[in-house]
Each structure stands twice: as C-alpha cells, then as structure tokens.
Chain A
Amino acid sequence: AQSVAQPEDQVNVAEGNPLTVKCTYSVSGNPYLFWYVQYPNRGLQFLLKYITGDNLVKGSYGFEAEFNKSQTSFHLKKPSALVSDSALYFCAVREMYDGGATNKLIFGTGTLLAVQP
C-alpha cells in the first residue's frame, strides 16, 4: 500500500539550532512529495515540493527538504529554527498508479515541532 511515515510525533529544538523533521514514503515509481505546515486553528499551508530535478528543494520561510531515493526519504530541514516555526508539519505524497499520478495526496500523521526560546 502507498503510504507516508512520519516517525516522530514531536520534535523539540532550541531557537537558533538546526531542525530536521523526518519523512519516509512508500509509492511505486517516481514520487511527487510535499511538505505542509499547519498553525493552530488554521488550514494547511504549502511549504515546498519535489517533483523532479535537484534533490535539495527550497521552500517558504527558509525551509528546505532533501529527497533521497535510496532511503525513500524526504526530510524537512531548516538551518536555524525560530519560535514562530512551532507548528504541525505534514509530509505528503501523490498517489501513483501504473499510468502516472492521481491528484490525491496521501498525508502522514504529522509532526509537532516545538521551538523553545
């Protein structure tokens, strides 16, 4: 079955330190990968995506993610965390079929990022 795994329910990091939020995926073929962020009482906001090309993808708010095909991972990173980065982060992958990709996104369970001042 196609799926996305976010192994950590919560990640704690001190402000100014680098952060990593982990994501692994399981789909057939070349994946379309996404990261979304959700602030309290808000909808999900798109951060970045990997479709093809450079394995290091840069997105909004200074976030980036590295696609690693051999490890089937797409970890979210930021060199220096801010308190305002505290939120719920979701990794997602497009559902694949033999002919390509559907428009359906499969989301992970989310990782709560807590940045301490």
Chain B
Amino acid sequence: DAGVIQSPRHEVTEMGQEVTLRCKPISGHDYLFWYRQTMMRGLELLIYFNNNVPIDDSGMPEDRFSAKMPNASFSTLKIQPSEPRDSAVYFCASSPPTETGELFFGEGSRLTVL
C-alpha cells in the first residue's frame, strides 16, 4: 500500500497568492483529516471528513481556508489569499472504518508564505 500521498511536499509562495494542497488517502479508508503543525501551536486539527462529507471544520482558522473532498480518493485544502502566518507543515491523515480510530499520516506539505 502506498500510504497517504500528499502533494506538493514543499511550496514557497508570496503573500496573497492562492495555495492548493492535495491529498490521496489510503484506499478503503473512510475518514480523512487535515492537520497543521507549527512550532508555536503544535498539531492542530483543521477539518475532517467521513465518507467525503465534512464532519467538523471548527479548526479552520478563517474564511481564507477551505477544504473539499469530491470523492473517496482525493481531497484538497485551499488557502486564498495566503498570508505569512499560514506558513506551516500541513498533514493529511486517513483512518479505516474500524472502532479503534488509528490515523495514518502522509509525509506533509511544508508551506512557506513570503
């Protein structure tokens, strides 16, 4: 199994530009999570989906952030417009439809906004 696949691995952009991060979950997993990691705030859950439907988006910082999951094998996290304080590592994770709730993480997308 290829695991959770994220792209791009690194993104450097200028303030005001649109950023799109992509995630392919593990096949058969019906939960998908977007986390953000920074030194100051640690790991923050931004949003999670179940069967492609957003369940909890209370962690999305503001309207500049949006996430979609058009099908079971693809999700995007979009930031428009980006700001320097959005610089972080963004992780996607998926989990299978089991009781235990173990998450499988991708390698992350490191975003730098100048």
Contacts and interface: CB of A to CB of B under 8 A. Distances in A.
A9 B33 CA distance: 25
Given A43-B4, A44-B91, A107 B101 contact: no
A43 B108 contact: yes
Interface string A93-117: 0100000011111011110000000
Contacts of A36: 103, 105
A17 interface: no
B48 A103 contact: yes
Contacts of A34: 102
Main secondary structure of the interface of B (DSSP, over half): strand
Interface residues of B, number: 23
Nearest to B41: A109
B104 to A, nearest CB: 7
B83 interface: no
Interface residues of A, number: 22
B25 interface: no
Interface string A25-48: 000000010101000011111100
A22 interface: no
A90 interface: yes
A25 to B, nearest CB: 15
B61 to A, nearest CB: 17
Contacts of A51: 99-100
A49 B105 contact: no
B91 A32 contact: no
B95 to A, nearest CB: 6
8 contacts: A41-B107, A42-B108, A43-B93, A44-B103, A51-B99, A103-B55, A104-B56, A105-B45
Q: Which 4 A-B pairs have the closest CB atoms?
A: A43-B105, A44-B105, A107-B43, A109-B42
Interface of A: 32, 34, 36, 41-46, 49, 51, 90, 94, 101-105, 107-110
